[in-house]
């Protein structure tokens, strides 16, 4: 029994991207990843609210209202896939599909105390996924155990001729002796020492690293000099892509139509001003700015260069290490309405956007409970296409956590 985020197309069903500009729009076709699940007799129970066009980290930016965290209804569930996360958290379904452009599966999973998998870029077809930033977007999976999550990933990661960005890979079989293997893990000193990281989360993360070392795992702390450039580069590039992708919503062919046709420019302006929410308009304008004449080289080109340097750095790290471990978010789920400053909200993505910039596989696993009674976990990243290793390490970490609790 599976729920889907309201950005994944399902033929003859409404899909709105949680936006007034697509209110009551009915999809004409089914996303490939979803079709693969339907072919295996999956039951699609419904679609879930999200941040409008997947732009947000709290699920408060929706034309249909905010989603609330099932563990504490005064708090956010995370975003943008907050509805999909809460559906699993509250046992409304067994699994759900979200999308992850910069952490929109992993951060809600962390806030809701469940598993959230972002497969590597090109692992799952994006055909039928309403685009936010095409070189970042990836369909992801929410669940409560790694076997269920693995099953959905295996079903959905089949080839699709309609998505030219998909990698053609030979399937890797599961390592049945995962508990006997000692993985080589890395983390970043800038991630642990970041001033925005909650002290309790930081201490728990350090304790976890020490525990792994005590169990003969190689866990090295590395320096990532470009760490402070990750979030700015991400928002320059994603908003630029959003500006281009969302230009198709003009009210002429489909979507919201204000009904005032005095002239074409006024018609476009009226439709888009009334149809899009505040956060979407903010990102469209930012993206248009960084692509404009005189600013393209200063912002967009520089961000692409940083992205290339980060990709090269990650490739070198994965030549030596099996995975990278980091926190998922600087804090546990915050209060509804608490973060009104967009810059503060954007900076909260500091631990998740790296995987999207570099196309890595990444997962958030629920391991801990904060003194404020909210859950939080750990993020594991592996190279793109190595989801098997990612899931095996996650299972090992979760088993170790359970064993420690019992002891």
Place of tokens 């899931």: 391
Give dist(CA 339, CA 224) in Å, integer.
28
Per-residue pLDDT at 326 exceeds 70: yes
What is residue 181's predicted lDDT score, i.e. its pLDDT? 75
Q: How much is the average pLDDT of 256-276?
A: 89
What is residue 344's predicted lDDT score, i.e. its pLDDT? 87
Q: Residue 377 in contact with residue 388, Cβ under 8 Å?
A: no
57, 62, 80, 81: the catalytic one is: 80
- List residues bridging with 185 in a β-sheet: 219, 323
Instruction: Please state, for a pLDDT cut of 90, what percent of the chain lies above it.
Output: 86
Half-sphere exposure of 64 (CA within 13 A, CB side): 21
Per-residue pLDDT at 195 exceeds 50: yes
Give dist(CA 160, CA 126) in Å, integer.
9
State pLDDT tens for residues 14-50.
999 999 999 999 999 999 999 999 999 999 999 999 9
19, 84, 96, 104: the catalytic one is: 104
5, 118, 270, 383: the catalytic one is: 5
Question: Per-residue confidence at 406, pLDDT binned at 50, 70, 90?
Answer: very low
What is residue 170's predicted lDDT score, i.e. its pLDDT? 52
State pLDDT tens for residues 57-78.
999 999 999 999 999 999 999 9
Give dist(CA 319, CA 226) in Å, integer.
19
Instruction: Specify the DSSP class assigned to residue 21.
Output: G
Per-residue pLDDT at 176 exceeds 70: no
Q: Is 247 among the catalytic positions?
A: no
Quick check: pTM over 0.85?
A: yes
Q: Is 84 among the catalytic positions?
A: no
Look over the chain and give the mean of its residue pLDDT values, rounded to a whole number. Answer: 94
Name the more confident of 257 and 47: 47
Question: Per-residue confidence at 340, pLDDT binned at 50, 70, 90?
Answer: confident
* Closest C-alpha among 133, 169, 58 to residue 357: 133
Give dist(CA 109, CA 94) in Å, integer.
14
What is residue 216's predicted lDDT score, i.e. its pLDDT? 80
What is residue 177's predicted lDDT score, i.e. its pLDDT? 47
Q: Is 58 among the catalytic positions?
A: no
């Amino acid at each position: 029994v599976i729920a889907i985020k309201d950005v994944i197309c399902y033929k003859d069903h409404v899909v709105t991207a949680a936006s007034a500009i697509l209110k009551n729009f009915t999809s004409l076709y089914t996303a490939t990843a979803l079709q693969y699940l339907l072919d295996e007799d999956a039951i699609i129970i419904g679609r879930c609210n999200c941040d409008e066009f997947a732009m947000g980290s709290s699920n408060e930016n929706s034309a249909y209202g905010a989603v609330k965290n099932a563990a504490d209804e005064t708090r956010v569930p995370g975003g943008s896939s907050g509805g999909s996360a809460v559906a699993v958290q509250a046992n409304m379904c067994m699994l759900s599909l979200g999308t992850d452009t910069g952490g929109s599966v992993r951060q809600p999973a962390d806030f809701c105390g469940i598993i959230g998998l972002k497969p590597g870029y090109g692992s799952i077809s994006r055909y039928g996924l309403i685009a936010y930033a095409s070189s970042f977007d990836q369909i992801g999976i929410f669940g409560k155990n790694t076997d269920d999550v693995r099953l959905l990933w295996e079903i959905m990661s089949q080839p699709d001729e309609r998505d030219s960005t998909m990698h053609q890979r030979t399937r890797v079989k599961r390592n049945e002796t995962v508990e006997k293997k000692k993985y080589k893990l890395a983390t970043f000193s800038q991630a642990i020492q970041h001033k925005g990281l909650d002290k309790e989360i930081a201490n728990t993360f350090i304790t976890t690293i020490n525990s792994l070392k005590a169990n003969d795992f190689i866990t090295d702390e590395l320096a990532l000099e470009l760490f402070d450039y990750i979030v700015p580069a991400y928002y320059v590039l994603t908003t630029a892509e959003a500006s281009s992708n969302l230009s198709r919503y003009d009210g002429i062919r489909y979507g919201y139509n204000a009904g005032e046709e005095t002239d074409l420019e006024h018609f476009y302006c009226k439709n888009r001003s009334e149809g899009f929410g505040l956060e979407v308009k903010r990102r469209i304008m930012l993206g248009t700015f960084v692509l404009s004449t005189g600013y393209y080289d200063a912002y967009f080109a520089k961000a692409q260069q940083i992205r290339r340097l980060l990709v090269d750095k990650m490739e070198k790290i994965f030549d030596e290490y099996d995975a990278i471990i980091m926190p998922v978010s600087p804090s546990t789920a915050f209060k509804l309405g608490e973060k009104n400053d967009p810059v503060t909200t954007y900076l909260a993505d500091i631990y998740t956007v790296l995987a999207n910039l570099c196309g890595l596989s990444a997962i958030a696993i629920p391991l801990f409970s904060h003194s404020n009674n909210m859950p939080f976990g750990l993020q594991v990243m592996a190279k793109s296409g190595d989801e098997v290793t990612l899931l095996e390490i996650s299972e090992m970490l979760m088993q170790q956590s359970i064993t420690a609790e019992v002891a």
